Structure 1
Amino acid sequence: MEGGELRVEVKFTGLLAYELRAQEASYELAAGSLVSDLLAIIGRAFADRLPPSLYDPETETFHRMIALVRRDHGFLSPTEPLADGERLLMLSRAAGG
């Protein structure tokens, strides 16, 4: 991987895994990317599979019940930076996983 990139793995759980018809995916982002950048990429990639109750394609935002979780660190804020090699969980806080 080139010096200006990072890779993260995302495991989809519960309702998201069902709607996306996917269990996990890998993403390459620019160094310095934030959680919000990753959410935008995931949303655009799966916009055609997500119901309006989970994702708004016009604003490119997920419903507030959708969260990314870093193991041992809880729910991530959209403004948190990502680190190369991270494995994250994406879930619905209401449905679990």
Structure 2
Amino acid sequence: MCDAVAYNPGFVPGTSLARNAESVSRFAMRRILPVMTTLTPFANSRNAAGRYLADVVLGTTRAPTGSYVDRSSVDRSSEESYDPRREDELWDAAERFTAA
């Protein structure tokens, strides 16, 4: 048995997320937006996002199996995520893609 938890780090500028974007966007994502993470609750620094993820993995943030963790706290996920048919499809796909 394994636990499955969905984790949302929020918007994390300064990563390679925009590596295929135009040069102006890449510059902004790499140099400007990381500085702005302290100004908005919707963005996290790479360090904060990593710390929050580590807290989930290590159990500091208590997240029972099936939980959705939004940055540093367990929250309710989208309505679609509670559809049992979709849950089964996702789990089946995960098993297929990770089977040895």
- How would you bin the TM-score normalised by the shorter chain? under 0.3
TM-score, normalised with respect to structure 2: 0.27
Q: Which structure features the higher share of strand residues?
A: 1
TM-score using structure 1 length: 0.28
Structure whose CA Rg is larger: 2
Which structure shows the higher helix fraction? 2
